Amino acid sequence: MNRREFLQSTAVAAASGYVLLHMRAAHADLPKRPYLTWQNDPCTTMTVTFQTATAPKGVVVHYDTEPRGGEAGRHSFHAAGATTRVGGLADGRSVNTAELAGLRPGTRHYFVFEDETGRASSEYCFDTIPDDGRPVTFVIGGDMGAGPRMRKLTDLAARQDPLFCVVGGDIHYENGDIREFQAVDDWLNMMAESLVGKGGRIVPMVLAIGNHEVSKDVAESEPGERRAPFYYGFYPQGGKSHFSRRFGPNLAIVCLDSEHIVPVEAQTEWLKNTLQSYADVPFVCPVYHVPMYPAHREFAGNVSMKERSLWQPLFEKHHVRVCFENHDHLFKRTKPLLNSEENPDGIVYLGDGCFGRDPREVNEGNRWYLEKASQTAHFWTVTAEKGGITCVATDEDGNEIDRWSKSL
């Protein structure tokens, strides 16, 4: 290559680099794959969200219980949805959502959506939750953020072939900052590449809120959608930061907001009614970000104290067996606790949110309530069935570091 050819090739490379950079600025790295949440019954519904740079003509998802390839016309069922935009998001992308309803429980479903040009996307699949009492297995952890440690843990979590994944807050560490969309896109893309079920099945997500979903620069008087724009804008879950879902006859998940948008006391009446409504469910599992029984932060923390005073008596009255706590970035299992004392019939608190973040030291202090704790990144795999629940903690090297079960 002579100097002239070299200069020409450099100019072409620079120009294509400019185009690439320009495109990235215009469209960012949109999530490459649709993702799944729930707004209603996980046995019979699924909410599909896919993002596009510009609004599609219509939001349409075609689905069936048999694979139909990329031919939208061969799918038996069709769901229309809607496009929304997240206020202030510079690339103006479209967040397109459709809820599929009337689905058969415990069944694989296949779907395509119509892209911006009206063409069918690749075909994807998911499983609805069984309603016949079969064991239900899910993975749970908190405090993630797309990074190498998250990737190791989500790769391992995928091997459990979980029916769904619960995140107990501090999902992508964008801090509710609308300019930090790349952190959100990176997390969604890492989940899409890593936490995949057998046969390429998309694993639906249940997302509780944490402090890193919320902007400190937006006034508390503003609506949640402004304070936590990605949490509300990207993940249709019914529009609230506290909600519950029932996963068949034996399991319910109750996501609570440990005072990031909604005060602890403002959820108490709702929590009481929710727990009453699940009187026939053997395992009702609360999930919230700030721990009642922390292993790193102080026991006398304001939110921890309020939760113990207002939520814990309701958990105990309604026979909760296990709670999932986060925020402190380490591994812990408490003793069974009743009325803040050790009691074999008490509740076990598992945590503390280390599904990607660097683990912190156990802060020794007076931790009378801890059975086990260590500076270990991990996630929990939980299997619930009629007669019992089993929770297994796996570290980032794939070792089982804890196993706790409760039989009824």
Q: How far is CA 129 from CA 164, 166, 311, 315, 320, in A?
A: 9, 14, 28, 25, 22
Q: Which is nearer to Fe ion, 170 or 177 (CB)?
A: 170
Q: In the complex with Fe ion, which residue's Cβ is closer, 170 or 385?
A: 170
Query: Among 160, 211, 215, 334, which residue sits at the site for Fe ion (rule: CB under 5 A)?
Result: 211
Q: For the segment 69-108, give every residue that binds Fe ion (CB under 5 A).
A: none
Amino acid in the structure at residue 100: L
Q: Least separation, in Å, of the C-beta of 218 and Fe ion?
A: 18
Please state whether the peptide bond connecting residue 352 to the residue before it is cis, i.e. omega within 30 degrees of 0: yes
| Contact window for Fe ion (CB under 5 A) among 62-70, 193-201, 295-303, 323-331 | 323-331
- CB-nearer residue toward Fe ion: 81 or 353: 353
Does 174 participate in binding Fe ion (rule CB under 5 A)?
no
C-alpha–C-alpha distance, residues 1 and 242, integer Å: 64
Stretch that binds Fe ion, among 93-101, 207-215, 335-343, 371-379 (CB under 5 A): 207-215
Apex 122 CA angle, 116 and 125, nearest 5: 120
Q: How far is the CB of 209 from Fe ion (least distance, A)?
A: 10
Minimum Å gap between C-beta 133 and Fe ion is 35
Backbone angles phi, psi at 254, to 5 degrees: -115, 110
Contacts of Fe ion in 324-353 (CB under 5 A): 327
Choose one: 52-60, 205-213, 224-232, 382-390; the region binding Fe ion (CB under 5 A): 205-213
Least separation in angstroms between residue 93's CB and Fe ion is: 27
Rank residues 149 and 327 by Cβ distance to Fe ion and give the closer one: 327
β-bridge pairing 35-37 and 46-52:
antiparallel
Q: Residues of 222-251 as b/e, b for ≥16 C-beta within 10 angstroms? A: eebebbbbbbbbbbbbeeebbbbbbbbbbb
Quick check: 228 and 169 in contact, CB under 8 A?
Answer: no
Which residues, other chains included, contact 239 with Cβ-Cβ below 8 Å and sequence gap of 6+? 232
> Whole-number minimum distance, CB 353 to Fe ion, in Å?
7
CB of 292 to Fe ion, least distance (A): 14
Tokens of 338: 């009743």
Identify which of residues 114 and 352 has a Cβ nearer to Fe ion in the complex: 352
Tell me the residue type at 5. Answer: E
Q: Which residue is nearest to Fe ion (CB)?
A: 327
If binding is defined by CB under 5 A, does position 294 make contact with Fe ion? Answer: no
Which residue type, as a one-letter code, is found at position 194? Answer: S
Q: How far is the CB of 212 from Fe ion (least distance, A)?
A: 6
Q: Binding string, 144-173, against Fe ion, x = CB under 5 A?
A: --------------------------x---
Query: Whole-angstrom Cα distance, residue 242 to residue 274?
Result: 11
Give Cα separations from 281 to 274, 285, 318, 322 (angstroms). Answer: 11, 10, 10, 13
For position 142 contacting Fe ion by CB under 5 A, the verdict is no
Query: Which DSSP symbol is given to 113?
Result: E
Q: Which is nearer to Fe ion, 215 or 250 (CB)?
A: 215
Kindly state the number of chain residues that form the binding site for Fe ion, as judged by CB under 5 A: 4
Alpha carbon distances (Å) from 72 to 57, 64, 81: 15, 10, 16
Judged by CB under 5 A, the stretch of 82-90, 151-159, 321-329, 334-342 that binds Fe ion is: 321-329
Give φ, ψ of 153 to 5 degrees: -70, -40
Measured from the CB atom, is 290 or 392 closer to Fe ion?
A: 290
Non-local CB neighbours of 281 within 8 Å, separated by 6+ positions = 246, 249, 250, 251, 252
Q: How far is the CB of 143 from Fe ion (least distance, A)?
A: 6
Hey, what amino acid is at 83? T
What does the alpha-carbon distance between residue 350 and residue 330 come to, in Å, rounded to a whole number? 10
Nearer to Fe ion, 123 or 325 (CB): 325
Minimum CB–partner distance for residue 167 and Fe ion (Å): 12
* 279 versus 300: smaller Cβ distance to Fe ion: 300
Taking the complex as a whole, how short is the minimal distance between the CB of residue 327 and Fe ion, in angstroms? 4
Among 31, 210, 286, 336, binds Fe ion (CB under 5 A): 210
Regarding 356 and contact with Fe ion (CB under 5 A), the answer is: no
The residue ranges that bind Fe ion (CB under 5 A) are 170, 210-211, 327
